[in-house]
Amino acid sequence: MKVLKSVRKKAKKRQLAVIVDGPNILRRDLGIDLEQVRQLVESEGRPRIAVVVLDRKAPEKLVEAVINAGFKPLISTSKVEVDFTIASMEAIYDEKVDALVLVTRSAAYLPIVHKAKERGKEVLVVGAEPGFSTALKKTADVTVLLPTSPSEDLS
């Protein structure tokens, strides 16, 4: 007779895709700390994809801060909105991703939220005031308001 050991399975952590709208969130006047964003995201699940979309004029110091916070910098060669949308759609169609975390304030990304929900993904929107879209807040499954404080400029 074989003795079977009881194996306790770990609860599966939710797999997240985190897409950050760099020019909209990483602004001097907001003072958002990417490390704080990372901690917040990790409390919600495991970041499978963690990307910050930046424009081609992003200073090297900002790119370095993005890397040091554990995100992959995606330097847009055209419009940031296009690369943000492409990264988001790739995550939406990734079967291994359970939830999409959009770090932005812009209502321009409402269609992404709708498409993610259609595909059965939970949508978390992380943003900051001023200028955090009311429509974006109401459409997301979960909304998180980041505290802002003017700090040293990374750009």
- DSSP-assigned letters across all residues of the chain: -PPPPP-PPPPPPPEEEEEEEHHHHS-TTT---HHHHHHHHHHHSEEEEEEEEEETT--HHHHHHHHHTT-EEEEESS-HHHHHHHHHHHHHT-TT--EEEEE---GGGHHHHHHHHHTT-EEEEEE-SSS--HHHHHHSSEEEEPP--------
Q: What is the pTM of this model?
A: 0.85
Q: Which CATH architecture describes the domain 15-128?
A: 3-Layer(aba) Sandwich (3.40)
Structural domain boundaries of the chain? 15-128
Q: What is the pLDDT of residues 4-39, one digit of tens each?
A: 444 444 457 899 999 999 999 998 888 888 988 999
Mean pLDDT of 104-117: 95
Q: What is the pLDDT of residues 66-89, one digit of tens each?
A: 999 999 999 999 899 999 999 999
